[in-house]
Structure 1
Amino acid sequence: MDLQTLLDQRKITKYHLSKVSGVPKTTIMDICAGRSEIERCSAKTVQQLAKALDCTMEEIMELSSPYDSATGLPKDKSYLERGLPPFLMESIAAMKVAWKKLDSGEPYLRWDCDYCNLQTDINNAEVNQIINPEQAWYLREKYLRLERA
């Protein structure tokens, strides 16, 4: 969980947390936006946040940023699956079924067809610029279980 999610759950604004805790609003905004990491905050800041949010300093330290500090992109990459064309969604659905059967030990003789169809559809969508290379690799890693070299 991240700080913004905790604030949303408790229906507390960043402004209110700043006033109650004494932590500058910009610091709270930077933590919520992923520009600053809680791990890099001073013990005093963590203590003030913990007291204001009625939790322990350890619980505050366990909060993570939803953003990768190096790239600024969300850690949860599921946004890369939004807006996919129907033909790609169908291939993904078929591959999900295939992996479910294979992972459970059920014999499934058409998995290689599903795999090749999905790989072809990802490549087709990427070459025709329906999806970008980042989306294509995300889909390959997630659904074809490929790793980038």
Structure 2
Amino acid sequence: MTLQTYLERRGITKYHLSQISGVPKTTILDICAGRSSIGRCSAKTVRQLAKALNCSMEDIMSLSDEQTETGKPADDSYLECGLPPFLQESVQAMKEAWKKKDSGENYLHWDCDYCNLQTDINNAEVNQMISTEQAWYLREKYLRMERE
């Protein structure tokens, strides 16, 4: 089981874990995204995570790093896990807007939903609630943008 899976089962967001453990959000995001391994974390970080999750340091160290040869999980859906609630709402609104637009329905609020999601992604990224990798994943998937 990965840290991400463990958090999902316990109903804890990465942001909340950062708050209760004192571990920087970026460290938790990197571990959950597969960019960092728990095994390479300091004993202090592992202790903080264990204390916050009410488990032993051994339990934390036993969490696996399910990754591909590139060092990242095979499924990109992990990038949508642990999003702040305001961003989840914007993503859901944009999903519905694309369904209407793609089906040919005359949906007059599509541009508002698009701008709201773009703003919320930027806000979450700048305030370090999501990683840059997550931000670009969301832009590419839901705003249909391409990186240059």
Relative to the length of structure 1, the TM-score reads 0.53
Q: 2: CA distance between counterparts of 1:140 and 1:75?
A: 19
Matched to 1:93, the amino acid is: Q
Cα distance in 2, alignment partners of residues 102 and 75 from structure 1:
30
- Structure 1 residues not aligned, in runs of 5+: 1-65
Whole-angstrom distance in 2 between the partners of 1:145 and 1:68 = 25
Structure 1 residue 75 displacement after superposition: 2.5
Q: Aligned residues: percent identity? A: 76
AA at the equivalent of 1:101: K
Deviation sequence 1:35-69 (CA, Å, 0-9, x none):
xxxxxxxxxxxxxxxxxxxxxxxxxxxxxxx8543
Mapped pair 1:115 → 2:129: no
SS in 2 for 1:83: coil
Give 5+ residue unaligned stretches, structure 2. Answer: 1-65
One-letter amino acid matched to 1:146: M
| Number of aligned residues | 83
Equivalent position amino acid for 1:139 in 2: L
Number of the residue aligned with 1:79: 78
* RCO higher in structure (CA 8 A, sep ≥6): 2
TM-score, normalization by structure 2:
0.54
Shift of residue 72 of structure 1? 1.8
Distance in 1, Cα, partners of 2:68 & 2:141:
19
Larger Rg: 1 or 2?
A: 1
